[in-house]
A and B are shown apart, each in its own frame.
Chain A
């Protein structure tokens, strides 16, 4: 385990050092961005609409019982932008895109394509890891913005149409505007950027250390997704503690 962590830290460092080469790899970055956005945007919006809705559905009646349902907009707003959107989008992207990265790089490793790149003196980090890491670091925070907006919408819809809650759009969004500020959104976006780096590095690393045939690729894909999600959830706690400390 410690060897893997060490290798991932080295891979991340090498990718950071390769960042100046991003412009040269822009075509691949755009391809990866399209891949990630195209594959995930609709799914992310649908998922977030329902997460926001469920949040309203669970919280609204409890607040209504106490006569404070007017605060629902703030509860949904804060929960979505600081916690649910970054974590749920990261889990979604780990499953959809992290697995694809590990599978693609893993199959390139198994079928000697990566060896071929090395013999041509082409940097594997620059050619394979850098574009993926840059693309996911742009795409995941962008998806989180969409997720936050659709989550708020889902929350507002349920709040308006559920008779047990019955909070109008204007009351919902007025309260949301009172409670949520730019710092809260930035909090979520920063988390999603860290999660993006985790998914990119864990998935690319798993692909690069793939051994064996198709079974090895399958194993790498599973490890990439599971390890990414585990790291995201653990890191989420510590990041939250850190960001709350900064907010004081």
Chain B
């Protein structure tokens, strides 16, 4: 088994035969794929296709019925894997702790694990907030922030961990197009700057094709295609094409 250096910037992720059912309904139907170190990997699919469930398995929030998720060859369910590898997740709802200020939220990992003295934590928090373009909001409560700001605070909180693997669950949902583009730019920039492996789950095709090194399309719990954006575009699977080609420009085609 590969022993990871604490300074290593990224980890590899192997998903092997992953299956999960809820109340007899199979949500994930035996998924197999690999995410390479440092890669920006996007998992795309329509609502209800099992994307978020998959992401929760990758970070160990769900236990699979069958199969496994390997982080650098170690099962995510094995004891101590979260101690050996630094992982972070940006939730769809941002999941900021509403009882804490923005600064306390961002510095929570360092405070709770007592990794740095308070002054150092304050400096790191300010630095991370600046990195996501939110200087000066540290004293605000999450309820005082807009949806886009919350997302960026959640990203700052994830960055404090200095993650080797960072997961984004629908990072642009509920955001207007301008903010969505900004968040997309942030995700790409942070992937290049930090070198961390990034996995993004989204149904936003523009975001996916704009930032991904590779894309996987998840439809009804099965992976239909995994490849570079060009390879995915060229995929001949009818369901994949239907998902990729769906658009709003139907007004002129409606017969009076």
Contact = CB atoms under 8 A, between A and B. Distances in A.
Contacts of B255: none
A110 to B, nearest CB: 10
Given A120-B161, A121-B82, A115 B109 contact: no
B91 A120 contact: no
A115 B62 CA distance: 10
Interface in B63-104: 82-83, 87-89, 91, 93, 95-99
Given A119-B61, A121-B82, A121-B83, A113 B109 contact: no
B112 A111 contact: no
Contact of B91 (A107, A115, A121): A115
A248 B96 CA distance: 55
B113 interface: yes
A239 interface: no
A116 B161 contact: no
B87 A119 contact: yes
A127 B60 CA distance: 19
Contacts of B96: 113, 116
A122 B56 CA distance: 16
B59 interface: yes
Interface residues of A, number: 16
B226 interface: no
B108 interface: yes
Contact of A127 (B98, B112, B157): B112
Given A112-B93, A113-B95, A116-B89, A122 B112 contact: yes
Interface string B154-168: 000100010000000
A24 B88 CA distance: 24
B18 to A, nearest CB: 18
Nearest to A111: B93
A108 B61 CA distance: 15
Given A119-B59, A121-B82, A121-B83, A112 B112 contact: no
B120 to A, nearest CB: 18
A112 B91 contact: yes
A174 B54 CA distance: 71
Contact of B97 (A24, A116, A118, A119): A116
Contacts of A120: 88, 108-109, 112, 161
Contacts of A104: 99
A104 B97 CA distance: 11
B106 to A, nearest CB: 11
Interface of B: 56, 59-61, 82-83, 87-89, 91, 93, 95-99, 108-109, 112-114, 157, 161
Given A113-B97, A120-B112, A120-B161, 6 more contacts: A115-B89, A116-B91, A119-B61, A120-B109, A121-B109, A122-B113
